Amino acid sequence: MKSALALIFALPFCTGLSHAQNTTNFAHIGHVDRFDTAVNSLIPADAKIEVLCGGFEWAEGPVWVPGPSNSFGGYVLFSDIPNNAVIKWQEGTGSSVFMKPAGYTGVADYGKEPGSNGIALDANGQLVFCEHGDRRISTLTKSGGKMTLADRWNGKRLNSPNDLAIRRNGDIFFTDPIYGLPQRENDAAREIDFCGVYRLQKGGEVTLQSKELSRPNGIAFSPDEKLLYVANSDGQDPIWRAFPVQEDGNLGTPTAFFDSSKEDRIPNGGGDGLKVDSKGNVFATGPGGVLILSPQGELLGRIVTGERIANVGWGNDGSVLYLTSDMYLCRIKTSTKGAGF
């Protein structure tokens, strides 16, 4: 595996200008741990982790924006949170700044994590953002302007929306820890004294679904939308929960889906972003990489870059998994497809 330092100097930096991609021979990094033979039907034996570009402060929230077809012409967007920017990467073109500012539009300094975090596409193809600095869920309208979808619950400002999952009916479920507040849990501007999981309905109503998780983070639905998986980024409670989705659309009492403290093949630690494939397997960033979990919560394997991986997202025809790994955007080919493709 090439050292991180060598890769940083070998890869194009993103400084606000487009960087032409003059190669398809990308550097490789890391490996795949195969703890169970079932992972072989999900990740090809010869799969390589490609490093597409680098030089970011902390990359997060990758989303695939399709072009005329899901196989050609699309591109990846992802957040560079400390730099308050959304970056675009497209095959054959390279990386460029898609949006800046992305999560904080104020005039004063706003801590270390002012930018956007999770990004998703709604049923109309419009981008929806979790914004740290402006403490809201927003959407990019077709005219190019941003519109606030939610920034309060019960009249109180949200902490710093982190990640989101959109149901087919348009409901947006999102997590709201304190990582984007300049002083985090001790921030004087904090108005909600817990970290919640919320439901945002089309009419704008925001309802609290859970406040039991200390640091709710990554979030995604099962393919049939009967379960909502939520990661907890707290090493003292490193449990991924599965919430049943009730008939009225609200969440029921969760069960423990996966507990890293009970698994001796990986370090103990909480989770970050996650996505689900069409078969119900959960690809969850956690201790040492992307944990590959069966629908029953069994650890099948792990994708390891050697750097922390914040989040993942499927793209192209649904069989390419993009990884935001610290300063890099990476990808790996899978034998499965993401839910919704």
Find out whether 55 and 13 touch, Cβ atoms under 8 Å.
yes
> Around Cβ 141, how many Cβ atoms within 10 Å?
11
- Average pLDDT score over the chain: 93
Residue 106, pLDDT above cutoff 90: yes
CA atoms within 13 A on the CB side of 318: 11
Residue 22, pLDDT above cutoff 60: no
Containing H/E element for 174? Answer: strand 172-176
pLDDT, tens digit, 9 for 90 and up, residues 257-301: 999 999 999 999 999 999 999 999 999 999 999 999 999 999 999
**4-8, 22-26, 270-274: which range is least confident on average?**
4-8
pLDDT, tens digit, 9 for 90 and up, residues 38-62: 999 999 999 999 999 999 999 999 9
Residue 105, pLDDT above cutoff 70: yes
Task: Tell me the percentage of the chain whose pLDDT exceeds 90.
Answer: 89
Binned at pLDDT 50, 70 and 90, residue 2 comes out as very low
pLDDT, tens digit, 9 for 90 and up, residues 108-124: 999 999 999 999 999 99
Find out whether 316 and 69 touch, Cβ atoms under 8 Å.
no
pLDDT, tens digit, 9 for 90 and up, residues 223-268: 999 999 999 999 999 999 999 999 999 999 999 999 999 999 999 9
Give the whole-angstrom CA distance, residue 271 versus residue 194.
18
Supply the pLDDT for residue 227. 98
Least Cα distance to 312 among 61, 9, 21 occurs for 61
Binned at pLDDT 50, 70 and 90, residue 7 comes out as very low
Neighbour order of strands in the sheet with 31-34: 31-34, 299-304, 289-293, 282-286, 274-276
Binned at pLDDT 50, 70 and 90, residue 72 comes out as low
Binned at pLDDT 50, 70 and 90, residue 21 comes out as low
Task: Tell me the percentage of the chain whose pLDDT exceeds 70.
Answer: 92
pLDDT, tens digit, 9 for 90 and up, residues 142-158: 888 999 999 999 999 99
CATH of domain 4-333: 2.120.10.30
Residue 13, pLDDT above cutoff 60: no
Q: What does the domain layout of the chain look like in residue ranges?
A: 4-333
Give the whole-angstrom CA distance, residue 53 versus residue 12.
6
Q: How far is CA 32 from the centre of its chain?
A: 20
The pTM assigned to this predicted structure is 0.93
Supply the pLDDT for residue 16. 41
Is the sign of the CA dihedral 71, 72, 74, 75 positive or negative? positive
Supply the pLDDT for residue 25. 79
